[in-house]
Each structure stands twice: as structure tokens, then as C-alpha cells.
Amino acid sequence: MNTVTYTLDPKSLVVKGYSSDKAARSMGNGVAFFKNADELLADRNVTGTLLVNAYNELTDKPVKKFSDNKTAAKRFMDAIADIHVTSTRSDKEELAPLIFKPVEKTYDAFGRQAKKNNPKSRGSFAGKKIKCLIDTNPRKEGTRGWNNFSLFLGHGTISYEEFVELAEGHGSTKGGCREDLAHDIKKGRVEIIDEC
């Protein structure tokens, strides 16, 4: 039985699983490689703060901190075990990763897991639409901000959730999207409107 080797990127908080250790290690330096909680804790770059942030990316019940790093690593591994695995590996591409996407969970008033089709979203922009107020991209070409603002121009009015999803296509994180959107609102380039 093959054991999955996981990688955790400390910058983007993306977790990926690979069918072999060799395939995972081909991703290069800067990511944590692990098969279990002990190996995750053995990486000197894995901190309590990183574990909290990575855990919160995978769950709808965020935590502020864990009692200790061992508990954090165990809870993080449990969160990975619950997520849906989408294989992007073809038979000819041995090094292609298995990409993990969080299972979206919602709960009803009694604490039971409810079925819901729309994606989870938190924060002040959740459930709102973004309306572009100008016709040209004022950001420096080639930057994350330029790529994100291009999404506003291409759509006129777009929901915040669609914006975040499309921005992931060019490597932007949720935090980067919030930061760029707040900057463009402050500059008067876009406005937020409540969805009806």
C-alpha cells in the first residue's frame, strides 16, 4: 500500500499529497514534507502559528491557537484526512500531485452537519458584489494587484467569491485578494454592493 507524502507551503498554506516521496521532493525547497504528524513537527520551519493558519484554511471552525504543537499537528492531520482528494495525475505523469480540496461543511441550528451547495465564505466582503468604476487597469503590469484588478475589468460586476476563485488561477491567495480589494476600494476604483 502506498503512503501519501504531503507537502505544506508555508506561504500559500496549500496542502498537496503525492503518490511517492520522490514526487513530493521534486517540488523543491521551502515546503514541509511529511507523512504523519510526527514528521510534520520534525520540520524546523513548522511553527504553532503556521499550524493554526493552515488548519484554519481547511476548516469552517477556525481556532485562535492550540494547547501545544503536538495537538495542532494531530488536528491538522485529521483535517487532511477529511478532505476530498482530486487526482490530477495521469498514468504518464508520475510527478503530478494529488491536490487536496477542503470538504465544505455547514451545520444547522442543532449542530448537525447540513447539506449546502454554495461555498463557505467569511469576512466583511463575503456575499457581496464588486463593481468596477474605471475602464483601465491602474496597477503595475505583471503584479498580483494588476492580475487581480484585470478580473474586475473583465467582468464589470463580480461576486467576491467568484473573484477569489478566479484569482487562485494566477496564484493569488485569499489574503492577497482581500488586501488588493481593500486597496482598490480606498482608491475609489471599485465599490462593494450587497447582493440582493
pLDDT digits (tens, 9 = 90+) for 27-59: 667 788 888 899 889 888 888 998 998 888 877
Regarding whether 97 and 32 lie in a shared domain, the answer is yes
Whether residue 32 is found in the same domain as residue 72: yes
Claim to verify: residue 95 and residue 143 sit in the same structural domain? no
Domain presence at residue 122: no
Residue linked to cell 461576486: 159
Which of 70, 89, 104 represents a domain boundary (last residue)?
Answer: 104
pLDDT at 101 over 60: no
For the beta sheet containing 128-132, the strands, ordered from the edge strand earlier in sequence to the opposite edge, are 157-159, 128-132, 190-194
Instruction: Specify if 21 maps to a domain.
Output: yes
Per-residue b or e along 28-55, where b marks 16 or more CB atoms closer than 10 Å to that residue's CB: eeebbbbeebebbbeeeebeeebbbebb
Residue recorded with cell 451547495:
117
Q: Please, which pLDDT band fits residue 112 given cuts at 50, 70 and 90?
A: low
Q: Do residue 85 and residue 137 come from a single domain? A: no
21: buried, middle or exposed (CB in 10 Å: 19+, 13-18, 0-12)?
middle
pLDDT band at 86 (very low <50, low <70, confident <90, very high): very low
